[in-house]
Structure 1
Amino acid sequence: MSDRPLTAGEKALWQKFIETVKPLDHKRVSRVDALPVAKRLPERNGPITAQSFGGPPGKAIPLREQTAVPQKHGLDGQWDRRLAKGVVQPDVTIDLHGYTLSSAHGRLDSALELSIAAGHRAILLITGKARSADERHREGGRGAIRAAISDWLAASRHASRIAAVRRAHPRHGGAGALYIILRRPR
């Protein structure tokens, strides 16, 4: 059970519930008059930026210094066999469904930072399936996050910590998900 204070609606509902209950021992039951009410979060107008999402943006790597995220190198054969069979159990799962491009990028960056700090090796990144040009035109441009993932990872401040990116096994999402394998700290 959470220790957060009740919202005004929860407080009113709880009061109605208490009034319908017949207590067994009147001496032990006391009515709560002043339940704490949760603070209302400030509403955000406009697009989500790095500052409003979670702090100042990290330093971008200049284009000439960017290195591609290895697609087929960086792992030994045992890792590749385990990934192909789907026996690798991801340490953490990041689901980007429902995010906009900018908020998905911020979510991915912060999740990578936390995973690296926690010493995780395998991350399951759920992006959704990439769409063909025909489907994107018909369905309103969906699949943009999946299309941008490789660029985001290559330009990320964590690019040097990524050993490999592989398509996920069907039990973990298949074409709609990726494994990100992080390097061991040396």
Structure 2
Amino acid sequence: MTDNRRPKTPTDAELDLWHTVVRDATPIASKRKSAPPKKPAVKPAAEPVATRLVAAKPAIPLPAAPVAAPAERLAELLRSVPLKEKGKVSVQLAPSPLGRIPGVDKRTDEKVRKGRMGIDGRIDLHGMTQSEAHHALSGFIRRSHAAGRRMVLVITGKGQMPRGEGVLRLSVPRWLREADVGPLILSVHQAQPQHGGNGAYYVLLRRRREG
């Protein structure tokens, strides 16, 4: 049998009695302890880009590419000239590869440059290899100075520059600057046409000191 009765509503007197009973009651502590809140996980800060770059191992610089000698560079440029145009190529050296140095008066140097000074000796390097010509030129300059000669003529030949030849003509001025013969020389100029033109050089030597 189902009880359909509604729950009884407490009277005012019953409510006052209940409040009196529970007024001094102490709640029973719960045995469960609340867990301390977890700290949020902190991701490590990303390393600054600048720091990583400083820590990186410095790159090793690559060695500089070797610089080709003037004769080699000129020969390389002339190889690019079309074959039908090579006959039109004309290479002229500067009128004074070395020029004069302090101690040579302008009048004397002008006579040398114009070929008006007597030639005391000459050497022909045409047909020699670079090694042979270099050795022969150094010996000739030293012997000429020791013999008291003032101006000598060095013949190199014009060479065929479009085919990469004529190296002696470009190398002689550099050889004449070297330590073994440079101090014996006062000036160097390209020869006049009657003495070989751009295939020869006038070389004015210092006076040999007596004693």
Describe the SS at the equivalent of 2:122: strand
Aligned to 1:184: 207
Alignment coverage as a number of residue pairs: 112
Selected match of 1:81 from 105, 110, 116: 110
Shift of 1:129: 2.2
Give 1:1-186 correspondences, 5 Å limit.
70-74=98-102, 75-129=104-158, 132=161, 135=162, 139=163, 141-186=164-209
Aligned to 2:48: none
Aligned-pair identity (%) = 39
Distance 1:154 1:166 in 2: 13
* TM-score normalised per structure 1: 0.55
Using the TM superposition, name which of 146-155 and 73-82 deviates more. Answer: 73-82
Structure 1 residues not aligned, in runs of 5+: 1-68
Distance 1:84 1:178 in 2: 9
Shift of 1:170: 1.4
Change in Cα spacing, 1:84 to 1:160, as seen in structure 2 (3 Å) is closer
* TM-score normalised per structure 2: 0.49
* Displaced runs of 4 or more, over 3 A: none
Amino acid at match of 1:88: M
Amino acid at match of 1:145: L
Describe the SS at the equivalent of 2:157: coil
Q: Tell me which structure has the larger Cα radius of gyration.
A: 2
Shift of 1:81: 2.8
Amino acid at match of 2:185: I
Amino acid at match of 1:92: G
Shift of 1:149: 1.1
Change in Cα spacing, 1:70 to 1:97, as seen in structure 2 (3 Å) is closer
Describe the SS at the equivalent of 2:100: coil
Distance 2:100 2:181 in 1: 18
Shift of 1:152: 1.1
Distance 1:76 1:146 in 2: 27
Distance 1:179 1:112 in 2: 12
Structure 2 residues not aligned, in runs of 5+: 1-96
